[in-house]
Amino acid sequence: MHFVAIPGGALPLQALPFESTTATAIIVTLTVTERIIIMANRQRNLGINIRVTPAEKKKIERNAKKCRLTVSEYLRQLAMNVEPKELPSDEIIESIMRLHKEVSLFEKYAQASTNESNIRFYKNIADRLSRIQTETLQLLTHSGSNSEVKSDGDD
């Protein structure tokens, strides 16, 4: 099984909907024995049990899934005052990647063109598409997860 190591944990490779270009991502192949050794050597080896209603459990699991986190990691982040962010759907990420390809295509057209009018036209389209892409990414990253779990005061 392939994993991508990221700060604070690892994700199965198929959970990542895009190619990572950051220097912090490393693809690692682990055998079953290696996974057992890593689990035995990890620092987090204590459990905490909490009581929740079936509805609360569903909401916690749903919110963790939206963030592509395990329930443990989701709750751990909440406990450490880190708001887990809901990740965009695969369809949205694919759409953003297609938009990025279109920007690159118009930039190539501008470089290949010899007509000054065409160069300006292609660059203008590339700039506009790039702005839309940037604005969309900003909207996605600032629209954090609205946690559905509400405290009833009986913690």
pLDDT tens for residues 100-118? 999 999 999 999 999 999 9
Does residue 118 belong to any structural domain of this protein? yes
Does residue 147 belong to any structural domain of this protein? no
With a cut of 90, say whether residue 52 has pLDDT above it: yes
Do 63 and 102 fall within a single domain?
no
Residue-number span of the structural domain to which 71 is assigned = 47-84
Does residue 131 belong to any structural domain of this protein? yes
Do 29 and 51 fall within a single domain?
no
Do 96 and 122 fall within a single domain?
yes
Count structural domains, the chain. Answer: 3
What is residue 15's predicted lDDT score, i.e. its pLDDT?
A: 45
Does residue 150 belong to any structural domain of this protein? no
- Residue pair 72/39 in contact by the 8 Å Cβ criterion: no
Does residue 70 belong to any structural domain of this protein? yes
Task: Give the mean pLDDT of the chain.
Answer: 74
Do 109 and 125 fall within a single domain?
yes
Do 107 and 134 fall within a single domain?
yes
Does residue 155 belong to any structural domain of this protein? no
C-alpha 22, offset from chain centre: 13
Do 75 and 99 fall within a single domain?
no
Does residue 78 belong to any structural domain of this protein? yes
Q: Give the CA count within 13 Å in the CB-facing half-sphere of 91.
A: 0
C-alpha 56/C-alpha 79 separation (Å) is 16
Do 78 and 58 fall within a single domain?
yes
Q: What pairing do the DSSP bridges indicate for beta strands 2-6 and 26-29?
A: antiparallel
Do 63 and 79 fall within a single domain?
yes
Do 94 and 136 fall within a single domain?
yes
Q: What is the pTM of this model?
A: 0.44
Rg (CA), the chain: 21
What is residue 31's predicted lDDT score, i.e. its pLDDT?
A: 60
Backbone CA torsion sign across 28, 32, 34, 36:
positive
With a cut of 50, say whether residue 7 has pLDDT above it: no
Looking at residues 67-85, what average pLDDT do you find? 89
Which residue is associated with the tokens 């702005």?
131
Do 94 and 138 fall within a single domain?
yes
With a cut of 80, say whether residue 21 has pLDDT above it: no
What share of the chain in percent tops pLDDT 90?
Answer: 32
Confidence of residue 32 (pLDDT cuts 50, 70, 90): low
CA angle in degrees (0–180, nearest 5) for 148-153-155: 90
Q: Which residues have C-beta within 8 Å of that of residue 112, sequence separation ≥ 6? A: none
Does residue 153 belong to any structural domain of this protein? no
Looking at residues 25-33, what average pLDDT do you find? 53
What is residue 148's predicted lDDT score, i.e. its pLDDT?
A: 42
C-alpha 86/C-alpha 66 separation (Å) is 5
Do 53 and 41 fall within a single domain?
no
Nearest to 101 by CA among 109, 138, 120, 22: 109
